[in-house]
Amino acid sequence: MAVDAHHAGHAVDHSKPLELSTEEGELKILGFWFFLAQDMILFACLFATYIIMHNHTAGGPTSMQLFDVPGFVAETLILLTSSFTYGLATFEMRRNRLKGMITWMVITALLGMSFVGLEVNEFIHYATTGAMISRSGFLSAFFTLVGTHGAHVTLGIFWMISIMVQLYKKGLNPVTARKAFIVGLYWHFLDIVWVFIFSVVYLPGVMK
């Protein structure tokens, strides 16, 4: 196993951070960066679609009529904070403090859940006013873009919980550290995507 330091080719290099200390860790983290690159292109295509569709309201509600400023500002603040708290978890990991690390991860997951809750609430509210995905090109693009991000966040929460369980059971070692680090990359990436959603979808959507 990876913690086994006796054999060449699978040694632990103590000069590097724990998550990068084995070859396996290095490979998987690099691979995950490439995954994020392709995910970024995926979102870029969705953003391009949204920008084209923004005015294709087909007589249905426009973004001006729909978007609720306090709602999306709250979502934004919560998600930004959660990115920060995950940063603190990584900080604790670097100092090899498992308890603090798990605590911050729990807080991050809770913030993530409240973000998803708010978003679901927002979607339900729109739907009850008749703004469904099938109403217009604009709403199709809106729900698909923001919903894809929301689905990513939801998956991230479950993933984070499973890593917390593993950390709790196995403690900090090169494998669990690598897993926690990768979830962190994912989480920060989603945060960045949200910043774009905020500035491409919501802000222009409520400005004349």
Partner 1 sequence: MSGVQQFLSHFFITGPFEIGGDVSIGLVSIAILFILTRYKLWGWLWREWLTSVDHKKIGIMYLLAALLMLFRGGVDALMIRTQLAIPGNSFLQAEHYDQIFTTHGTIMILFMAMPFIFAMMNIVVPLQIGARDVAFPYLNAISFWLFFFGAMLLNISFVIGGSPDAGWVNYPPLAELRFSPGPGDNFYLLSIMISGIGSVATGINFLVTILKMRAPGMTLMRMPMFSWAILATCIDIIFAFPALTIALGLEFMDRMFGAHFFTVSGGGNPMMYVNLFWMWGHPEVYIVILPAFGIFSEIVPTFARKKLFGYTAMVTSLLLIAIISYFVWLHHFFTMGAGADVNTFFAIASMFVAIPTGVKVFNWLFTMYRGRIRTTIPMLWFLAFVPNFAIGGATGVMLAAAPADYQYHNSYFLVAHFHQVLIGGVVYGMLAGMYYWWPKMFGILLEEKWAKWGYWFFNIGFYVCFMPQYPLGLMGMTRRMYTYPAGMGWTTLNQISTVGAFIMGLGFIFIVWGIVTSILHPVKDTTGDPWDARTLEWSLPSPAPHYNFARIPQIEGRDAWWAMKQKGLTKLDDSTPIVPIHMPKSSGKPFIMGVLFFVAGFGFVFNWFILAALGMVGVVILLFSRSFEYDTDYYVPVDEVKHTEALYGRS
Partner 2 sequence: MKRLKSPRKLGRWLLLGAASALLLTGCSPQQFSVLNPAGPVASSELQLIILSGVLVLVVVAFVIVLLAFIVGRYREKPNNNAPYTPEWSESRSLEIIWWAIPIVIVVVLGIFTGIKTFSLTRPPEATSNPMIVQVQSLDWKWLFQYPGQKIATLNYLEIPTGQPIEFVLTSNAPMNSFWIPQLGGMEMTMPGMQMRLWLQADKTGVYEGRGANFTGTGFAHMTFNVKAVPMATFTQWVSQVQSSKPALTNAEYQTLVKPGLAGVKEYSSYPANLFMKVVMKDNGGQKPMGLNGGM
Distance CA 175, CA 18 (A): 9
Residues across the chain: 208
Which of 42, 73, 77, 192 forms a contact with partner 1 (CB under 8 A)?
A: 42
Alpha helices in 54-173 (DSSP H): 63-66, 69-94, 98-128, 137-170
Residue closer to partner 2 by CB (options 87, 137) is: 137
Residue where the block lists tokens 């004349």: 208
Determine which residue in the list 57, 63, 83, 90 makes contact with partner 2, applying CB under 8 A.
Answer: 57
Q: Are 2 and 22 in contact (CB under 8 A)?
A: yes
How distant is the alpha carbon of residue 126 from its chain centre?
23
Nearer to partner 2 by Cβ, of 16 and 56: the residue is 56
The residue from 79, 105, 109, 141 that contacts partner 1 (CB under 8 A) is: 141
Identify the H or E element spanning 90: helix 69-94
Among partner 2, partner 1, none, the one that 71 touches (CB under a kind-dependent 5 to 8 A) is: none
d(CA 182, CA 188): 10
The binding track of 48-87 with respect to partner 1, each residue x by CB under 8 A or -, is: -x--xx--xxx-----------------------------
Residue with smaller CB distance to partner 1, 13 or 39: 39
Asked if 193 and 149 count as a contact pair (C-beta separation under 8 A), the reply is yes
Give the residue with the Cβ less far from partner 1, 13 or 23: 23
Residue 71: other Cβ atoms inside 10 A? 15
Q: Which of 82, 83, 90, 136 binds partner 1 (CB under 8 A)?
A: 136
CB neighbour list of residue 54: distance below 8 Å, 6 or more residues apart: 63, 138, 141, 204, 205
Give the residues lining the site for partner 1 (CB under 8 A).
1, 7-10, 23, 26-28, 30-31, 34-35, 37-39, 41-42, 44-46, 49, 52-53, 56-58, 133-138, 140-141, 143-144, 158-159, 162-163, 165-166, 170, 175, 179
Where on the chain is the footprint of partner 2 (CB under 8 A)?
55-59, 136-137
